[in-house]
C-alpha cells in the first residue's frame, strides 16, 4: 500500500483528524464500519487532500505502507475492543494501532499487553481539543513504546497545535501513560470550570452583578494572568442572550451538570494512589449534587432557599479579590493534578516529564492557558519540585493573593454562596504548610481504640499506650 497512515471511525473526531492529516500532505486511508460516513467525508472534503477510501478493514490494512499505522477513533469501551480484535488478525509484527478515543488507562494497559505479545505496538493516545481541535490542531498525548513514537511522532507532531514553534505533542511514556495524562487533564478541566462557576456565583449573588457585567469582568481577566480558553469562553457564554426569551442564556439553562466519567476516574485513581486532588473531587461532587434535583427541591422546601445575608459593599474591590482567589485556587488544583501524574508515573514506572506535559497543554486542549508556561518553567527548573506551590513564582503568586483569598471565602460563607472549590483549595494550602496538623490526635485516637500504634516526634520507633492498663507506654 501507499497510504502513510489510516483512520478507522469517521464520526466527528475521526473525520476531522483524517482531514487534518490530509491537509498536512499525508496520504490517508479512511475507513468506517458503515461506508456512508466514508462516502460523506469524501463528498464533502475529498478535495482537501489525498484520501484513500477503504470499504473493509482488510482494504484499509492493504492500502497502508509498512510498518502500518492505524488510528482507531471509535466509541470507547466494547466498540474499541471489537475494532482492535478485527485489526489484530490483519496486521503483522511491527505494525501500530493507535487508540485516540477516551479509553480508561487500565484498558489501554490491558490492550497494550495483548498486542505486544503478538509483536504489535499499541499506542493509547489522549487527544484533547474536541471537534475543532481535531481539525485544526489538538493537544496529543501518546503512550506506548518509544519505538512506535519514532514512526508516529513526526506525523502526530505535525498535526498538533503549535505554541512558540513547539508542537503540543510528545511521547508521554509507555503503555497507559498517555491515557492517564489525558484523564488528569480532564480532571483539571473539571476543577477549573468549578472555580470559574464559583467566581460567577459570588460575583452575581454576593456582589449583585448581572451576567452581562460578569462577562465583561471575565473579558478583562482574560488579558492578565488568568488568560485561558476557559476564561475566554466564560465571557462568551455569560454574555449570550437567549433569543426566545430575551433572558441571559445562563438563566434558561437547567442547573444540573452532567458528566461523562473522566473526572470521576481521576478521583478514583487519586484515591488508589493516596494523592489529595481535592479541587477535582469537589468539582465532581458539585456536579453530582447539582444533578440531584429531587433532593435539592426537598431541601429547599425544608430549609428555605437562602441562608446567608451578607452583601458586598465595595464591588470593585471584591472583583479584584475574586480574581486573586480564582488564580490561587487554580494553582492548587493544577498542583494537585501534577502530583497525581507524578505519583502514577512512579508507581507504574512511566518516567513522565511533568514540564513536558505542561508544554503540550499550552495549546490545542481545553485547559490551554498562559499560566501553563509558568508550570513548564517551574518543572524544567526543578524536575523534583515537591509541589508546584513551592516553586518561587507560584509561592509568590499564592502569597500575594492570600489575604484576598481569605476575604472571598469568608464572604462566601457569610453570604451563603457555596464555594467548595475555593474553600477546599484554601484549606489544602493551609494544611500543606502547617507546622503541626491534628493528624497527631487522629493517631492518638487510633491507638486508643485499635492499638494501631504511633510514632513520636522525639524518638525513633513505634509506640503504643496501654490506655486501660495504667497508661504506660510501650515501645519497640
Minimum distance from residue 10 beta carbon to ligand NDP (Å):
5
CB of 72 closer than 8 Å to CB of 99: yes
**Which is the catalytic residue, given 182, 198, 282, 330?**
182
Nearer to ligand NDP among residue 49 and residue 261 (C-beta):
261
Minimum distance from residue 129 beta carbon to ligand NDP (Å):
7
Nearer to ligand NDP among residue 16 and residue 423 (C-beta):
16
Minimum distance from residue 178 beta carbon to ligand NDP (Å):
12
List the grid coordinates of 3.
Answer: 497510504
Axis-axis angle for helices 105-117, 78-90 (nearest 10):
20
Minimum distance from residue 102 beta carbon to ligand NDP (Å):
3
**Residues 173, 179, 181, 186, Cα dihedral to 10°:** 170
Q: Helical H runs in 248-314?
A: 249-252, 262-273, 278-291, 293-303
Distance between CA atoms of 196 and 215, rounded to whole angstroms?
Answer: 12
3-state secondary structure of 139: strand
List the grid coordinates of 355.
Answer: 514540564
**Which is the catalytic residue, given 112, 157, 189, 198?**
189
Minimum distance from residue 283 beta carbon to ligand NDP (Å):
19
Nearer to ligand NDP among residue 9 and residue 142 (C-beta):
9
CB of 175 closer than 8 Å to CB of 143: yes
Mark whether 182 is an active-site residue: yes
Q: For binding to ligand NDP (CB under 6 A), which residues are involved?
A: 9-14, 32-34, 37, 73-76, 79, 82-83, 101-102, 127, 130-131
Find the residue with minimal CB distance to ligand NDP. Answer: 101
Minimum distance from residue 124 beta carbon to ligand NDP (Å):
11
Nearer to ligand NDP among residue 130 and residue 276 (C-beta):
130
CB of 473 closer than 8 Å to CB of 465: yes
Nearer to ligand NDP among residue 98 and residue 284 (C-beta):
98
Tell me the sheet residues that pair with 97. Answer: 70, 122
Nearer to ligand NDP among residue 128 and residue 423 (C-beta):
128
Hey, which residues are catalytic here?
182, 189
Amino acid at each position: 500500500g501507499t497510504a502513510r497512515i489510516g483512520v478507522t471511525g469517521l464520526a466527528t473526531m475521526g473525520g476531522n483528524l483524517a482531514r487534518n492529516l490530509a491537509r498536512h500532505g499525508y496520504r490517508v486511508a479512511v475507513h468506517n464500519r458503515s461506508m456512508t460516513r466514508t462516502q460523506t467525508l469524501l463528498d464533502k472534503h475529498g478535495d482537501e487532500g489525498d484520501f484513500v477510501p477503504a470499504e473493509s478493514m482488510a482494504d484499509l490494512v492493504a492500502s497502508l505502507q509498512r510498518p502500518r499505522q492505524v488510528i482507531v477513533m471509535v466509541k470507547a469501551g466494547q466498540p474499541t475492543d471489537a475494532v482492535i480484535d478485527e485489526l489484530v488478525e490483519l496486521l503483522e509484527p511491527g505494525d501500530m494501532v493507535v487508540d485516540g478515543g477516551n479509553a480508561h488507562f487500565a484498558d489501554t494497559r490491558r490492550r497494550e499487553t495483548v498486542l505486544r505479545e503478538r509483536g504489535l505496538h499499541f499506542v493509547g493516545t489522549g487527544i484533547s481539543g474536541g471537534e475543532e481541535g481535531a481539525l485544526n490542531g489538538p493537544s496529543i498525548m501518546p503512550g506506548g513504546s518509544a519505538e512506535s513514537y519514532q514512526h508516529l511522532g513526526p506525523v502526530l507532531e505535525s498535526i498538533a497545535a503549535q505554541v512558540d514553534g513547539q508542537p503540543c505533542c510528545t511521547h508521554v511514556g509507555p503503555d497507559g501513560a498517555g491515557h492517564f495524562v489525558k484523564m488528569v487533564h480532564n480532571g483539571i478541566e473539571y476543577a477549573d470550570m468549578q472555580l470559574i462557576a464559583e467566581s460567577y456565583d459570588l460575583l452575581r449573588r454576593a456582589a449583585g452583578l448581572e451576567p452581562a457585567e460578569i462577562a465583561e469582568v471575565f473579558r478583562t481577566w482574560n488579558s492578565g494572568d488568568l488568560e485561558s480558553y476557559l476564561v475566554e469562553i466564560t465571557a462568551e457564554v455569560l454574555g449570550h442572550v437567549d433569543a426566545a426569551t430575551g433572558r441571559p442564556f445562563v438563566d434558561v439553562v437547567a442547573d444540573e451538570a452532567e458528566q461523562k466519567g473522566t473526572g470521576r476516574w481521576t478521583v478514583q485513581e487519586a484515591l488508589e494512589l493516596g494523592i489529595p486532588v481535592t479541587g477535582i473531587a469537589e468539582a465532581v461532587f458539585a456536579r453530582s449534587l447539582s444533578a440531584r434535583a429531587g433532593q435539592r427541591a426537598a431541601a429547599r422546601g425544608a430549609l428555605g432557599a437562602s441562608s446567608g445575608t451578607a452583601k458586598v459593599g465595595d464591588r470593585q474591590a471584591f472583583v479584584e479579590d475574586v480574581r486573586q482567589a480564582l488564580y490561587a485556587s487554580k494553582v492548587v488544583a493544577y498542583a494537585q493534578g501534577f502530583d497525581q501524574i507524578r505519583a502514577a508515573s512512579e508507581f507504574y514506572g512511566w518516567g513522565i516529564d511533568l514540564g513536558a506535559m505542561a508544554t503540550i497543554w499550552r495549546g490545542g486542549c481545553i485547559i490551554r492557558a498562559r499560566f501553563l508556561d509558568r508550570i513548564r518553567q517551574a518543572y524544567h527548573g526543578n524536575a523534583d519540585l515537591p509541589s508546584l506551590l513551592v516553586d518561587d513564582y507560584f509561592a509568590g503568586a499564592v502569597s500575594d493573593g492570600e489575604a484576598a483569598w481569605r476575604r472571598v471565602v469568608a464572604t462566601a460563607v457569610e453570604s451563603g454562596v457555596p464555594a467548595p472549590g475555593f474553600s477546599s483549595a484554601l484549606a489544602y494550602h493551609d494544611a500543606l504548610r502547617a507546622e503541626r496538623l491534628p493528624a497527631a490526635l487522629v493517631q492518638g485516637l487510633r491507638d486508643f481504640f485499635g492499638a494501631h500504634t504511633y510514632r513520636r516526634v522525639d524518638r525513633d520507633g513505634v509506640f503504643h499506650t496501654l490506655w486501660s492498663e495504667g497508661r504506660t507506654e510501650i515501645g519497640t
